[in-house]
Amino acid sequence: MRDGAWEAAAQVPRVVLAADVGGTHARVGLVDASSHGHAPVLAHERYACSAWPGLADILDDFLARHGAGHAVEQGALAVAGYVRDDELVAENLRWPVKLSGLRQRLALRQLDVVNDFEALAYATQFLNERDSVAVIDAPAAQGPTVVVGPGTGLGCALLLPDKAGATVLPSEGGHVALAPGNEREMDLLQLLARDRDYVHTGHVLSGPGLVNLYRALAELERQPAIHAQPEQISAAAMSSHDPLAHEALQMFCAMLGSFAGDLAMLFKASGGVLLAGGILPHIRSFLPHSEFRQRFFNKGVMREFLSAVPVRLIEHGQLGMVGAAGLLMRGET
């Protein structure tokens, strides 16, 4: 091949079909993964999973509307789950997914699956300060960064700085045992433990977890639980007209502060803590004035260390897609 032909080939974007698939939404995009830096998103859509009979239908629809003119041969899925044989196993997915069938239907040469928070954490290395909002302000430092976020479940990952590009340590931290921080939370734990053998942190720090907190508080107070959805509870809490919803959201933020502080200590996260997930952007005005800050610092002799750890809120947005595509390409280098 002549030099000019090589140069022309090198300029052709390497487009990856990337999807960040959660229990509620699937964020799908075409990502230019030609470079090893921040991969630009060429097109994207957010789908409500409940409106579609399967993941293949969502991806097929997306390619039909946005795939023209792009030679898409590779795909990357960011999912809170894992692959067993040919099947995608994920507690929050609404439908069964066979990877070979999905790859064949979409005519893909390669289809990779990565942990959703691994992908999210990988993409956060490309954020700048204006892409986030300070919850606890402190000077940024070089070091590990924790990414944690409540959504349909509770995701956690660790971003480790590296001269060759950041490395991500995926985690199932959302499944560690729930640690109450006061007597009220101990009473809540006793109620939650009646229906399950093991109560993990995700049972309270997630969308369904906020509902669990609200219902348990209603039972403790012998009041009716009038809200059934997390968005209803958070809206009622911020309206200042519903004391029960307000206490549930306050407890949610307090427990999140405790958990984020635990993770920051566990990994000596001098690079900071990034809060993500589908819930927190909706309570961004409530979170900084909640008990999050108090509980984050309430770690005895480690308070001084934590006072130097910045905590920032980010929008999940397209990060999962970008991270999934980036991890796919990095795996080929």
Of 273, 276, 278, 248, the C-alpha closest to 262 is 273
Q: Region 151-157: what's the mean pLDDT?
A: 89
Whether residue 173 is predicted with pLDDT greater than 80 in this model: the reply is: yes
Cα–Cα distance measured from residue 129 to residue 139, given in angstroms and rounded to the nearest whole number: 11
Residue 272 has pLDDT above 70, yes or no: yes
At 162 the pLDDT is 81
**Which of the pair, 42 or 317, is modelled with greater confidence?**
42
pLDDT of residue 8: 39
Q: Which residues of 60-98 are buried (b: 16+ CB within 10 A; e: fewer)?
A: bebbeebbeebebebbbbbbbbeeeeeebebebbbeebb
Q: Is the pTM of this model over 0.75?
A: yes
Beta pairing, strands 15-21 & 74-79: parallel
Instruction: Name which of 38-42, 144-148, 177-181, 224-228 the model is least confident about.
Output: 38-42
In this predicted model, what pLDDT tens digit does every residue of 91-125 receive, in sequence order?
778 888 999 999 999 999 999 999 888 999 999 98
Structure tokens at 315: 């929008």
**What is the rounded distance in angstroms from the CA atom of residue 52 to the CA atom of residue 54?**
6
Q: How confident is the model at residue 36 (pLDDT cuts 50, 70, 90)?
A: low
Checking if the pLDDT of 44 tops 70, the result is yes
| pLDDT category of residue 3 using cuts at 50, 70 and 90 | very low
Is residue 126 within 8 Å of residue 37, measured between CB atoms?
yes
What is the predicted pLDDT for the residue at 37? 58
How much is the average pLDDT of 252-256?
98
Q: What percent of the chain has pLDDT over 70?
A: 94
Closest by CA position to 35, among listed 277, 330, 314: 330
Helices (H), 193-242: 207-221, 230-238
Considering the chain, what percentage of its residues have pLDDT values greater than 90? 69
Rounded to whole angstroms, how far apart are CA atoms 137 and 321? 28
CB atoms within 10 A of CB 197: 5
DSSP 98: B
